[in-house]
Chains A and B, each alone.
Chain A
């Protein structure tokens, strides 16, 4: 069975600085998708970024980018120029690619604090 591990329960960053959140996963599949979701105090789940396993190029969305290391089964999220609004819980998630309708497996989450 697939598992997702986030080893940092809490992280903090100074406003305008860069922070990296770690995520590792375990799978025997070669085709899958990885996601980072943000959950602010409103508790809504917001998609931050997505990576297809078959793509070697790391995904980027504005200030958010990932470092996808397939062999190491690592999928870290880098937030550049951190803003106060980035403060939230961040979840890493895995989805199988073997069907069009795979469920998500989530990590335990990392709480990010942004200091002004």
Chain B
């Protein structure tokens, strides 16, 4: 859905570098979800945030991954010291009523 904006669309990082992915939800929405899609797999929930608060981070890896959604600005998914296994599509989503709409995704490639 065009209302959920993600950037960058494509990001290449060398092993050990940091990756930052940004997401702005649909206008007027104060919640975002982050999902990860590994090659040839379905989407897996990572984290659910509202402004300045993490609601559910049950899908986040314990190390190197963090997410925030500040009062001002987009939500950021941060991956420190990236490894090749982090190469994936990362989708952000926000909900309108009972339906969740996705952004176009950010493709991270670790070389």
- Enumerate chain A interface residues (CB-CB to B < 8 A): 33, 35, 37, 42-45, 47, 50, 52, 91, 95, 97, 100-101, 103-109
The 3 lowest CB-CB distance pairs between A and B, nearest first, are A45-B102, A106-B42, A103-B45
Determine whether B104 belongs to the interface, using a CB cutoff of 8 Å to chain A: yes
- Establish whether residues B104 and A44, one from each chain, have CB atoms under 8 Å apart when the complex forms: yes
Determine the chain A residues whose CB is within 8 A of the CB of B48 once the complex forms.
101, 103
Bound complex: CA of A24 vs CA of B48, how far in Å? 25
Q: Is the CB of B41 within 8 A of A52?
A: no
- CB distance B98 to A33 under 8 Å? yes
Instruction: Give the chain B neighbours of A97 by CB distance below 8 A.
Output: 98
Say yes or no: A104-B45 contact (C-beta < 8 A), given A43-B89, A43-B105, A44-B104.
Answer: yes
Q: Which residues of A contact B42 (CB under 8 A)?
A: 91, 106-109
A-B contact pairs, 10 of them (CB 8 A): A43-B105, A43-B107, A95-B98, A101-B31, A103-B48, A104-B43, A106-B44, A107-B42, A108-B41, A109-B41
Shortest beta-carbon distance from A31 to chain B in Å: 11
B7 to chain A, nearest CB (A): 15
Complex CA gap A37/B52 in Å reads 29
Are the CB atoms of B99 and A101 closer together than 8 Å? Answer: no
| A95: contacting residue among B1, B56, B59, B100, CB under 8 A | B100
Cβ of B55 within 8 Å of any chain A Cβ, yes or no, is: yes
Closest chain A residue to B31, Cβ basis: A101
